[in-house]
Chain A
């Protein structure tokens, strides 16, 4: 199966995530979009690590695993981010009874 399918899927996911981040105002949704972007990258990493080293697979079984390892890293980071981020969102909700990010822009002043 050519890698193009993976690429386009990943690109689509990433774009959806990006557009979501840029356009939505709800913090939770933005958060989910960021997750989507991260996962798009994960997908790409896995796909490349599998496909790119296809030829060498016969010589060395462990080839391409570094890409997949990165995926684990990203998942860990994402999990940590979710825990901190959600905590912030909860605090935000407690204070202002809203999760609208526009609401807090007066911080700049």
Chain B
């Protein structure tokens, strides 16, 4: 029961239990109890994940079959879990970071009433449960269940403060945009069922032979569209910045570390299919780099601390897709991991700042927080360095792996990716200097309230900071350390390693040196520019374009939402009552009209009746006489 592999059942069940207890008992439990339960189940789940991770047999996956979800004749979709290198890695990330964020939340949300506090933790636990289903599922359907489940929790948590209409709007937007992707995902599953009769991951290698190349292209494309929804890529990325309406720990957990990387996970899971679909890979690479660039360009001109991080997340996800497009699934997963560390750190750090600033999120009104929030300041700095990609911080190794894979695919991709990486360093440090450097620019009342966050909040920050530093060391390239790239090797049962670096060591050094040097100079540039705050109001059209996020939201609004809305209104108020119902009513009305006319035959004149009688008799007789025989 408590040994491998059955202990894996506890990993999703514990958060589910936490959800039930906190959800049902939220009116009866104290806040302390709620926090302990919420975080405790995560700690236990993390321990169980650790057991799974350590006991993982090398080679093939371990399958756990709970029961048959759907079984009809030959079609069998088991409710089964798959434990292998990829899923166990994700399990660790999810439960580990999830635990830290639960602990953080217990302090961050302390102003909520017990009932809402319980609701919050229940949602959070439910999210972890769904996310675990997503990564543990042994087939696409179970994955899809988790997939929609995390979408649901994201919806619930974005709209957690449901009294603000804008927040619930954002929640709706997130859910609906995710649904667009989900539809494509579903169709891909049907396609797979139609061609191979199975949705299990373990059957994929065998199924590959029964798929034609156009099948594979279509399936992978559709799956990718699904991934663009969940992982916020062009064209379905606009929900993620709006999703910052949720509480900050939620943004850290769902919209940075875990849920949004589900798309990467799904594609890495299906890497066999993708490798067989070069066309799709090209599309993914282009979309990935385009998203990375677009989001990074927007982030430069954002002033909301969480919005900057949100666009940064979109941009980093774009990087991961770029890696996938270049065929480097391992690098993508590596970046998922390091990104989870430093982005969770940054979000939680921003939460700490917001907490200290009594809810203020505009970096123009911050500044000088270095002295009052030393721990936050220091950990945030580590996060920024990590994301900017300076050795030996974690972000460097994963980003370098991605840049290298892009270089191998096409120098143009590499160039754009490098440029985006520089943008990343720029906007991160812009935000950093505006927030922590200079002098305080907020109101006096805010200044009075400034304080470092409690230990429950700073402790996760510190842990994540350590991880952000050392997290990349599992993937140190061969170049520096013989027997490096441990992560790639670890993942090799799931993601086959493509042999042969077609690149010399000197080129590799050159690329690394180039990117590091450029990043450092960009940081220096940002320092000179934003060391002291100065207003950035600018009427340059390009700046306005960036400030308004390239008007993509407006475009969607006028091109899709409004027309649909208007069309629906037209159907409701004109087409339905006048045309469809009018047709039906018309039948009724014409019958009424005809009977009005026929009524006149009933004249009341006996002579008339007699005449009709005679005429009819004559007609009948003549029919009888002439027609028959």
Contacts and interface: CB of A to CB of B under 8 A. Distances in A.
Partners in one complex: yes
Interface of A: 18, 21-23, 101-102, 105, 107-108
Contacts of B606: 101
Contacts of B611: 22
A101 B604 contact: no
Contacts of A23: 607
Interface string B163-190: 0000000000000000000000000000
Interface residues of B, number: 8
B595 interface: no
A104 to B, nearest CB: 10
Contacts of A21: 607, 610
Interface in B562-614: 603-607, 610-611, 614
B605 A22 contact: no
11 contacts: A18-B614, A21-B607, A22-B607, A22-B610, A22-B614, A101-B606, A101-B607, A105-B605, A107-B604, A108-B603, A108-B604
A27 to B, nearest CB: 11
Contacts of A107: 604
A27 B604 CA distance: 16
Nearest to B605: A105
A18 B613 CA distance: 11
Contacts of A22: 607, 610-611, 614
Interface string B604-626: 11110011001000000000000
User: Which one of A21, A22, A101 has the greatest number of beta carbons of chain B within 10 Å?
Assistant: A22
A101 B604 CA distance: 12
A14 B610 CA distance: 14
Interface string B429-443: 000000000000000
A53 to B, nearest CB: 26
Nearest to B611: A22
A71 B579 CA distance: 66
Contacts of B604: 105, 107-108
Considering the complex of A and B, which 9 residue pairs feature the smallest CB-CB distances, nearest first?
A108-B604, A22-B611, A105-B604, A22-B610, A22-B607, A105-B605, A21-B610, A18-B614, A22-B614
A55 B606 CA distance: 44
Contacts of B605: 102, 105
Nearest to A108: B604
A22 B613 CA distance: 11
A41 to B, nearest CB: 14
Contacts of A105: 604-605
Contacts of B607: 21-23, 101
B611 to A, nearest CB: 5
Given A23-B607, A105-B605, 14 more contacts: A18-B614, A21-B607, A21-B610, A22-B607, A22-B610, A22-B611, A22-B614, A101-B606, A101-B607, A102-B605, A105-B604, A107-B604, A108-B603, A108-B604
A26 to B, nearest CB: 12
A107 B606 CA distance: 11
Nearest to A22: B611
Nearest to B604: A108
Contacts of B610: 21-22
A72 B52 CA distance: 116
Interface in B56-105: none
Contacts of B614: 18, 22
Nearest to B608: A22
B544 to A, nearest CB: 82
A21 B610 CA distance: 8
A34 B604 CA distance: 20
A95 to B, nearest CB: 18
A11 B607 CA distance: 21
A61 B603 CA distance: 52
A21 B603 CA distance: 17
A69 to B, nearest CB: 26
A108 B606 CA distance: 11
A18 B617 CA distance: 13
B352 to A, nearest CB: 93
A17 to B, nearest CB: 11
B248 to A, nearest CB: 85
A72 B3 CA distance: 116
A21 B613 CA distance: 12
A108 B609 CA distance: 13
A76 to B, nearest CB: 24
A42 to B, nearest CB: 20
Interface centre among B605, B607, B610 (most CB of A within 10 A): B607
A74 to B, nearest CB: 19
A105 B604 CA distance: 7
